Homo-oligomer: A and B are copies of this chain.
Amino acid sequence: MIAQLRRIAGDDAVIEGAPAPYASDATQETLGLRGSARATVRPPDAERVRRVVAWCYDHDVPIVPRGGGTGFAGGAVPSEDAVVLSLERLDRFRELEPAAWRAHVEAGVSTATVTRRARESGLLFPPNPGAAEQSQIGGNVATNAGGPRAFKYGVTRRWVTGLEAVVAPGEVLRTGGAVRKDVTGYDLTGLLCGSEGTLGVVTSVWLRFVPLPERSAQVAGFYESAADGCAAIAAVFASGGQPAALEYVDAGALAATAAAFPAAVPAGARFLVLAEADGRDAEVASDAAELGEALAAGALLTHVATTRGDLDALARWREGVSGAVTGLLGAKVSDDVAVPVERLAEMLERADAIGARHGLRTCSWGHAGDGNLHVSFLLPPGDLPLRAAAMRASHELHAAAVELGGAISGEHGIGSVKRGELGLQLGDVGLRLHAAVKQALDPKGLFNPGKKQ
């Protein structure tokens, strides 16, 4: 098999087994998850990806596509009978057309590179799911990644006008393209977005950009309680503006990161709301003032960041929240549910109660405007009984989110970590159609088996 894959993909493209980092993703740090595989293939171009898929499909070998490995759902963790198919060498911009606000990029280009090259052309690629230097655009598309700015700008799907993917049994599918509007066929672009590598392997994507906002500003409000913070979030909704982002950090996550916060955190602060305004110079000034007013009601303190330095410091702090929370006990079960925004306070209460019932230290942060909570159940690494308790708590968390009209995953995906939970949300008819779509596109069930199901 190794010899055949080398003949197909190139001598330097095939590694036996799945050495680090190919055996895991971000769940190695949070959960200690690690898989194994028969081989890891790193094809140099899309045609070689096609040939590898064709060979695997012909030989009934499972294919585990891999981007930057920053996922929190175990979507890139391989099974022992599989071939890991890493897209990292597909790292070219096939086209960059600033005058038309778009680019055509290969799957292995890092999110940070997309963002940077757009910015250099005076354009914004809005999605900012985090881990931008390591995460790859193909993985962002495969998981339909979100992030803070999704509140104003939408998730990754909205910025994809077309894609190229290798589908069963080893053929190249092209959907959409450089065109911004297209209702010709069924939305196969949308179907591949968020499919977590279970319907095919994305090799390139056409992305849309928007003009770069002239500036941004952030307003932080600190509150004595989640209830006060959620009231401030409601005040932002009622204020008449559209913030670029509207984030929250709860008591536990705030405690873990307060020392690193780029300004003084007031005593007694047990909830943080962070709102961002972006746009024209004049607009941002008035929007930030309005956000400040909305967040001030019931706040212990508000803090405004308007300079590049202050904004960068806040962004670095925000990016560090997840790692700081992991560091509290050394590991965590990291969940990601979403609820209608007016149920946020209730969902926060339920998460704490569920964690307490299972003897788990619990904290959360996330995208308040989208009702998207990243709930963490903290664990010492290797504590298997507590990990089992956390998995039971996660199941209850999913059931609670669905009961409140929400989703068991807002942006991280199902991967292998939430395996078996789909039925809680989709219902019998939804499950049946989900399976029918999978069967229609992957009749042998070889694309990332065991994931998103």
Contact = CB atoms under 8 A, between A and B. Distances in A.
A195 B186 contact: yes
Interface in A418-445: 422, 425-427, 429-430, 433-434, 436-441
14 contacts: A97-B342, A100-B342, A146-B181, A155-B183, A167-B429, A173-B430, A178-B340, A180-B369, A181-B370, A183-B411, A185-B430, A187-B187, A282-B286, A436-B440
B181 A371 contact: yes
B340 A184 contact: no
A437 B186 contact: yes
Contacts of A55: none
Interface in A336-381: 338-342, 367, 369-372
A405 B177 contact: yes
Nearest to A101: B237
Contact of A154 (B158, B287, B342, B367): B158
Interface stretch (A105-113, A238-246, A255-263, A386-394): A238-246
Given A99-B237, A184-B407, A211-B241, 17 more contacts: A100-B341, A143-B183, A174-B429, A175-B430, A182-B409, A183-B413, A184-B408, A184-B426, A186-B437, A188-B433, A188-B434, A188-B437, A211-B240, A280-B286, A282-B282, A283-B283, A433-B440
Contacts of A408: 184
A199 to B, nearest CB: 8
Interface string A143-185: 1101000100011011000000001000111111111111111
Most buried by B among A122, A177, A179, A407: A179
B194 A191 contact: no
A371 B180 CA distance: 7
A127 interface: no
B429 A181 contact: no
Contacts of A180: 338, 340-341, 369-372
A43 interface: no
A346 to B, nearest CB: 13
Contacts of A238: 99
Q: What is the count of identical protomers in the complex?
A: 2
Say which size band chain A's interface belongs to. Answer: 35 or more
Interface in A33-77: none
A265 interface: no
A177 B371 CA distance: 13
A183 B429 contact: no
Most buried by B among A171, A280, A452: A280
B186 A187 contact: no
A286 B144 CA distance: 35
Given A283-B280, A341-B100, A183 B178 contact: no
Given A238-B99, A283-B282, A407 B182 contact: yes
A184 B339 contact: no
A138 interface: no
A130 interface: no
A414 interface: yes
Contact of A122 (B181, B240, B429): B240
A399 B441 CA distance: 27
A405 B188 CA distance: 17
Contacts of A100: 237, 340-342
A215 to B, nearest CB: 13
A430 B163 CA distance: 12
A194 B188 contact: no
A155 B173 CA distance: 23
Q: Which 7 A-B pairs have the closest CB atoms?
A: A190-B190, A182-B407, A178-B340, A440-B440, A436-B440, A181-B410, A283-B283
Contact of A429 (B102, B173, B434): B173
Nearest to A73: B183
Contact of A179 (B97, B185, B338): B338
Contacts of A270: none
A437 B440 contact: yes
B172 A429 contact: yes
A332 interface: no
